[in-house]
Structure 1
Amino acid sequence: MSENTKRNIPLLPLRGLLVFPTMVLHLDVGREKSVQALEKSMMDNSEILLTSQIDLSVDEPDKKDLYQIGTLAKVKQMLKLPNGTIRVLVEGLERAEIITYLEEDEYFKVEMKLLFEDEKEHYSEELAIMRNVLGQFEQYVKISKKVSNETLQSVQDIAEPGRLADVIASHLPLKVAEKQNLLEIVNVRERLLHILDILNNEKEVLGLEQKIGQRVKKSMEKTQKEYYLREQMKAIQKELGDKEGKTGEVEELRTKIAEADMPENVEEKALKELGRYEKMPSTSAESSVIRNYIEWLVSLPWKEETTDRLDINHAQTILDEDHYGLDQVKERVLEYLAVQELTRSLKGPILCLAGPPGVGKTSLARSIARALERKFVRISLGGVRDEAEIRGHRRTYVGAMPGRIIQGMKKAGSANPVFLLDEIDKMASDFRGDPSSAMLEVLDPEQNNAFGDHFIEETYDLSKVMFVTTANNIGTIPDPLLDRMEIISIAGYTEIEKQGIAKEHLLPKQIKEHGLSKGKIQFKEDSILKLIRYYTREAGVRSLEREIATVCRKAAKMIVAGEKNRVIVTPNTLENMLGKPRFRYGKAEEEDQVGAATGLAYTTGGGNTLSIEVSLAKGKGELTLTGKLGDVMKESARAAFSYIRSKADELKIDPDFHEKLDIHIHVPEGATPKDGPSAGITMATALISALTGRKVKKEVGMTGEITLRGRVLPIGGLKEKAMSAHRAGLETILLPAENEKDIEDIPESVRKGLKFITVKHLDEVLKHALGEKDEDN
């Protein structure tokens, strides 16, 4: 290597730029060190070494930030611009490598050596590659359109392979690092092959770009065409006086679908149906069906929820404000709130409030919604006989619409309301299907997250809904449906509770509704008690409210007529307003009687006392049962009759009584249907009393099923029966031993006034229920 290949020279770092040998280029120089290097170069022989920066972001590069191989260049021209920067024209001469850095303070000065191309041993091979490169570059120019034909012609005139490679490299859109790679390849053959690879890649990329561009252009053209046609349609409709026509309607529906926050599959279905609607003529019958369907989809609350107020004390206050008593239900709601606060993910419970009419089941559900600060929606299932009422009709039918569940959700406008299904025990089935079977999916927390309505077709999530159902008689609800609900029994109110309800809720409400004030009407404590005892006989408080309303109306009439300025309601004035007492309060029987026993019955209206009478007459042993009795009750009477025949000797009854006497068992209130096994021991006691002549104690009430061997089996509804016994003024209740656990459910005020005796056999019943033999009989 000759000595003149090495020399000391100023260095100019380039940022984001690389100069190949034979390349002429304008540069703008602004950095202090670079300006100093240029000035030094101009003072010497106008030569300078150009090296690219490795990292473009570095403002003041160090020697480690620069590539080792650069280009020796000649500064052709230098011009100072008004903004302080210097514009220079440089021409690349040869490749050069930095040996060492001599100075780095004011400007970079380096020792470098020139790198010459190898001897031309494989010249013919290089020529072949060179022609190939030229051909590829020509094709590249045609596709690219970034390189002019003049440039292509100037490149085709180059005879030197090395120079050709450098000129083509300078015209390709390569990154600095890739250009640096080419600069560092000193071997001409290798450089040409590398350029060939790059040209092939670039051609492929450009081909793909063209394809993508054409595709985008086509879709753009299609969109523009559609837009143009829509605008034309709008103009035509406007001329015809069709306002915005169907196009505006479709756009409005599309916006609604986007805003409805539907699940992905539902949104897909809605848009598909919208596409069908758009193409369909307005006069088509199906057009309105599709529009109706889309409007239902967008109006349903798919994800919109209200935030629960999980404050137990606040909920307790609201429930106590709205309802007196009903502690068990309130406790269950507060438990739900507590668990929800801890987990934030509990599925909505399905509660069934079962109890007689007028005890506040429906209003309690409303209070639950108020306490939780949820939306409230109520549907009545009384008399629903068609399965489509629950699941909806298929869209193929004229006038099809969703079922009541989906309608209720739309009305609520929230995915987590309190949903009241009123009178669930009053559903019936006929040839149109069984609605109670359709309710099985609705009221199952494991299934109702994908409830299928025939009209909506897509599944709807009901798992966040808090379902509350009400029923008077759970006996008529099918077992699979009953199994899905948590039954909370609400018994009738006690006398004390009714007084509390009257004072806190009914009186203020009726006084306000009748335009009165506390100054104009006053109810004495004992007059409310008289109203409850002598003018109503019910489990709830509806009749009581009606009687209070009657008193308020009478008082309003007196005040308006000028008879009185202020009405004070006392027990005496009550009779003048409402007439004579309608019910007898006190002992169920005035005195001990033979052949008449008091039983306790459970009805849909709560508990009630049942007087059972037996009369004997000479005859042929005929057993007559009257009082509109059901089959089960008749069977209980026959079972009691058979037991007495088998134990005639022990009971000191004539063994042939069934051949000599006709027996008539009657249950008063003959117009009221009665059924059930729980009057078994009462009928047996009345029969034995009539046959033995022993009196039945008037203060004793009894309930229990009897077997042929005289065993006493458990019954239901003890709480309601005990309350009716208390109301009727009985003092002792005989009940099956297995029902002893149910005594705890009876309100304390009722328990205090009654004596409970548990019995296992009819012998024990007779011991407590029968007195001495009536000597007059």
Structure 2
Amino acid sequence: MVKRSDVILPLLPLRLGLVLPGTITPLPVGRSRSIALARALEAGDRIFLAAQKDPAVDDPDRDDLHSLGVTAVVREKVDRGRRGLMLVIEAQERRFLGEIVRRSPYLHAETLEAQETRGDSEDAHALADIVRNGLNDLLETERPVQGPIDKDCPPGLLADRVAASLDITTDKKREILEALDVVSRLRRLIQFFGEARARMAIKEEIRREVQKDLSDEEREAVLRKQLRAIQKELGEPLDEQVELRERLERAELSKEAMRIAMRELNRLESMNPSQAEAQVARSYLETLAELPWAKRIEDELELGPVEEILEAEHHGLRDVKQRILEYMAVLALSKKPRGTILCLLGPPGVGKTSLAQSVAEAIGRPLHRVALGGVRDEAEIRGHRRTYVGAMPGRIIGAIRRAGVKNPVIVLDEIDKLGRGHQGDPGAALLEVLDPEQNHAFIDHYIEAPFDLSEALFIATANDLEGMSAPLRDRLEIIEIPGYTHDEKMEIAKKHLIAKELEAHGLKGEAIRFTDEAIDLLIDRHTREAGVRQLRREIGKVARALALERVRHERLDETIIDEAAVRRIVGRPRFGRELREEYDRPGVAAGLAYTPFGGDILFIETTRMPGKGRVEITGKLGDVMKESAHTALSFLRSQAELLNIDVGDLDRYDLHLHVPAGAIPKDGPSAGITMLTALASLFSGRKVRSGLAMTGEATLRGRVLPVGGIQSKLLAAHRAGFTTILLPKGNELDLEDLPKSVLEDLTIHLVSEMSEVLKLALEESHDPLRGDPTKPKADQVAA
């Protein structure tokens, strides 16, 4: 019965369930209009609650709502952070829903009074007594009733409170809500009591069926049987399995993974939860549910912001930035591009790992780093089989799991440091991970179901590819970062390192300035590296001294850091201005070498003494380097006449070739022309030209073959102060990647024959014969 008494109230649609009068209920809100309403409400405000006919409707209108709802008073508003707001309300009275009068920023609606009938009749009170008496039998199995239900509680309110506590469906609760006749409402409630008693009878029958004479050890197993019997009778799975099943369904597993998961879930339901195998199955299912089978993050596809982030975070590195922008362009044009596996190759401290972090930030993806240095077990990549105690997924699946999306940026750090043990070769296991044609169905031994890795962006970092297998190298797109020039280090220090170190040491707000001369001193005299890691340490040393002064005196007397301040704080310089040496005697030449730490200068020293033609080679050299020395000596023998060398000298003297830094292993063919030049200088008596260094492989025919690591070698020569460089002609194209500032400071000669090398490398002799006064005596050491 509708009584005309219009009241306009804020309207909160209920997507699921309904609320009965006389109950206190928490209501989480998640839709935009509902959130706007919740933010506007305060404790004590009244609202109107109406249930939706179809939960799928996101923005309901009047026709989408049931006509009868309840008014409620807000008791509390709880902000749950990321999970949104929650209202705690107390439902009060039934009212009919009229017209919606306002929709923005949240709904307002007319409400009409719904008048109850026969609420105080004798039949109502009699039926209420029956409900109270019958309720005692159900208190152990149903939820407790909210509020008092004694004689003072009106029959209609009693019916609402008891119905809210019963485990009945939403449709049955709606029957109670829509029953304005209190007697009819109580009669329908008593029918629900009968259904609840029938459920209790079924449970008791099940208990009798499974009850037997059992020992204490079997008691827990019996309880499990009872639960399974109840589950079968009611058609309701257990709570734990319900949660796992829902999580697995939300995870959107592949068909094969879902089939495996359902099989394991059914096994788990039949297990004793205290069994070790049950815990293994539970952990496995939780891992499957946590993996992002279909969850991905949308990329930031605008090239402008991406380019700005890369430029702001890293100086130079043109090729790397260009490749990242190309990847983003392809991603913008093709929503499903082919998998990309980049490998940043370079010495320590050039910013390989931090560049990967900037890439992840630029494209808006989460980043996870997988440290591969020293990994010797194939199971670290592919995971352990579940038959092993403590089994877990491999590092790749673990990274995907922690990232939470299937398209993260995964940094495979120090991929060249992979080991190999008796447990297998992890490098071989990486072949499938890094192959775009295979990794769309990568199978981890723990998961035992294909997982798609093709959308992940893999960025590997390495210092040296020498020890890496050819198949693994073939799967990587190598981008070389050779190192920084002096000017680039200066810019990096000014734009990045100084600010970061001052902030790290609590000096961000201080007006501290480093002069160019101070930075130059740190770069040239206190560090000698391809990257900037040691430079950052030296700047950090200055920052710590300033922090100590700031705390000790509560102020900074020195805010301009010049050369004098650097000398006082950092100490005496560790290096001279130039590493190059003046060749004051024949038999010494400078070569260029490539190491995992960048380019380096390699001096070759030779001497001879009376003997029988014996050759001694020292300096902890590898087989290839020793063979290069013998090749150079053989070439000198064959070309002795052209080089004005007496072959008889080679038989009358013992020869000693040494490469300094004898504790460091050295190998490779690129010192071939340097060894040959040093030997030719020794026997011809002609010194090597000042400021000259060289690299290249020499053959028995006198050919000069190309070698690797040209960029790093030339940067090392530039740092060391060399001005003239001899390079194989086959390395001409490598010069295109060098910074212009380096090319302008170096004079580079491209050679293809050893005759060209000796002509350019050796000084002109006033007397080309053996009587040349610059030629060392037999007992003289050239070093």
What TM-score, normalized by structure 2, do the two folds share? 0.68
2:307 maps to 1:316: yes
Paired residues of 2:498 and 2:539 also in contact (CA < 8 A):
yes
Paired residues of 1:696 and 1:771 also in contact (CA < 8 A):
yes
| 1:469-488 matches, cutoff 5 A | 469-488=460-479
Paired residues of 1:506 and 1:545 also in contact (CA < 8 A):
yes
* 1:9-33 CA distance string (max 9 Å, x none): xxxxxxxxxxxxxxxxxxxxxxxxx
Shift of 1:516: 1.9
Match of 1:388 in 2: 379
Match of 1:652 in 2: 644
Shift of 1:552: 1.3
Q: 1:620 to 1:565 in 2, by over 3 A?
A: same
Paired residues of 1:587 and 1:699 also in contact (CA < 8 A):
no
Match of 1:410 in 2: 401
Match of 1:584 in 2: 576
Match of 1:296 in 2: 287
Distance 1:427 1:314 in 2: 36
Residue identity matched to 2:319:
Q
Shift of 1:275: 0.7
Paired residues of 1:718 and 1:742 also in contact (CA < 8 A):
yes
Shift of 1:241: 14
Paired residues of 2:376 and 2:421 also in contact (CA < 8 A):
yes
Paired residues of 1:309 and 1:373 also in contact (CA < 8 A):
yes
Distance 1:564 1:297 in 2: 57
Match of 2:750 in 1: 758
Which of these residues, 768, 773, 778, is aligned with residue 775 of structure 1?
Answer: 773
Distance 2:646 2:249 in 1: 89
Residue identity matched to 2:589:
A
Paired residues of 1:592 and 1:697 also in contact (CA < 8 A):
no
Shift of 1:347: 2.3
Match of 2:419 in 1: 428
Match of 1:613 in 2: 605
| 1:358-507 matches, cutoff 5 A | 358-507=349-498
Paired residues of 2:416 and 2:468 also in contact (CA < 8 A):
yes
Q: Count how many residue pairs are aligned between Structure 1 and Structure 2.
A: 552
Paired residues of 2:725 and 2:748 also in contact (CA < 8 A):
yes
Give SS of 2:316's match.
coil
* 1:273-298 CA distance string (max 9 Å, x none): 11110011223221111111111111
Paired residues of 1:595 and 1:688 also in contact (CA < 8 A):
yes
* 1:336-394 CA distance string (max 9 Å, x none): 11111111110231111111111111111111111110111111011111111111111
Which of these residues, 320, 324, 338, is aligned with residue 333 of structure 1?
Answer: 324
Which of these residues, 590, 607, 618, is aligned with residue 626 of structure 1?
Answer: 618
Q: 1:517 to 1:452 in 2, by over 3 A?
A: closer
Q: 1:226 to 1:318 in 2, by over 3 A?
A: farther
Aligned-pair identity in percent equals 50
| 1:90-105 matches, cutoff 5 A | none
2:526 maps to 1:535: yes
Shift of 1:558: 3.3
Paired residues of 1:390 and 1:403 also in contact (CA < 8 A):
yes
Shift of 1:557: 2.6
Shift of 1:579: 1.9
Shift of 1:715: 0.5
Shift of 1:229: 8.8
Distance 1:763 1:597 in 2: 16
Match of 1:513 in 2: 504
Give SS of 1:658's match.
helix
Which of these residues, 654, 662, 684, is aligned with residue 654 of structure 2?
Answer: 662
Residue identity matched to 1:508:
A
| 1:80-119 matches, cutoff 5 A | none
Q: 1:763 to 1:608 in 2, by over 3 A?
A: same
Which of these residues, 334, 337, 355, is aligned with residue 343 of structure 1?
Answer: 334
Residue identity matched to 2:710:
L
Distance 2:364 2:483 in 1: 28
Which of these residues, 660, 670, 678, is aligned with residue 678 of structure 1?
Answer: 670
Residue identity matched to 1:441:
E
Give SS of 1:653's match.
coil
Give SS of 2:764's match.
strand
Paired residues of 1:359 and 1:490 also in contact (CA < 8 A):
yes
Residue identity matched to 2:365:
R
Paired residues of 1:593 and 1:698 also in contact (CA < 8 A):
no
Residue identity matched to 1:628:
K
Distance 1:649 1:544 in 2: 51
Paired residues of 1:519 and 1:566 also in contact (CA < 8 A):
no
| 1:50-89 matches, cutoff 5 A | none
* 1:418-476 CA distance string (max 9 Å, x none): 11111111111121111111101000011001001111111111111111111111121
Paired residues of 1:593 and 1:697 also in contact (CA < 8 A):
no
| 1:146-185 matches, cutoff 5 A | none
Distance 1:230 1:247 in 2: 19
Distance 1:561 1:288 in 2: 57
Give SS of 1:583's match.
coil
Distance 2:287 2:683 in 1: 72
| 1:222-301 matches, cutoff 5 A | 247-301=238-292
2:697 maps to 1:705: yes
Deviates more, 1:421-430 or 1:567-576: 567-576
Q: 1:293 to 1:766 in 2, by over 3 A?
A: same
Q: 1:291 to 1:227 in 2, by over 3 A?
A: farther
Paired residues of 1:559 and 1:566 also in contact (CA < 8 A):
no
Give SS of 1:316's match.
helix
Which of these residues, 544, 547, 551, is aligned with residue 553 of structure 1?
Answer: 544
Distance 2:774 2:464 in 1: 45
Distance 2:716 2:546 in 1: 32
Residue identity matched to 2:573:
P
Paired residues of 2:585 and 2:774 also in contact (CA < 8 A):
no
Match of 2:686 in 1: 694
Match of 1:726 in 2: 718
Paired residues of 2:685 and 2:774 also in contact (CA < 8 A):
no
Paired residues of 2:433 and 2:442 also in contact (CA < 8 A):
yes
Q: 1:755 to 1:707 in 2, by over 3 A?
A: same
Give SS of 1:336's match.
helix
Paired residues of 1:585 and 1:727 also in contact (CA < 8 A):
no
Match of 1:215 in 2: none
**Structure (1 or 2) with the larger CA radius of gyration:** 1
Match of 1:522 in 2: 513
Q: 1:227 to 1:271 in 2, by over 3 A?
A: farther
What TM-score, normalized by structure 1, do the two folds share? 0.68
Residue identity matched to 1:479:
A
Distance 1:445 1:502 in 2: 38
* 1:202-229 CA distance string (max 9 Å, x none): xxxxxxxxxxxxxxxxxxxxxx999959
Give SS of 2:589's match.
strand
* 1:588-622 CA distance string (max 9 Å, x none): 01355311111111111111111111111111111
- Superposed CA RMSD in Å reads 2.6
Distance 1:408 1:399 in 2: 18
Distance 2:243 2:379 in 1: 31
Paired residues of 1:719 and 1:743 also in contact (CA < 8 A):
yes
Residue identity matched to 2:701:
R
Distance 1:761 1:611 in 2: 21
Deviates more, 1:250-259 or 1:585-594: 585-594
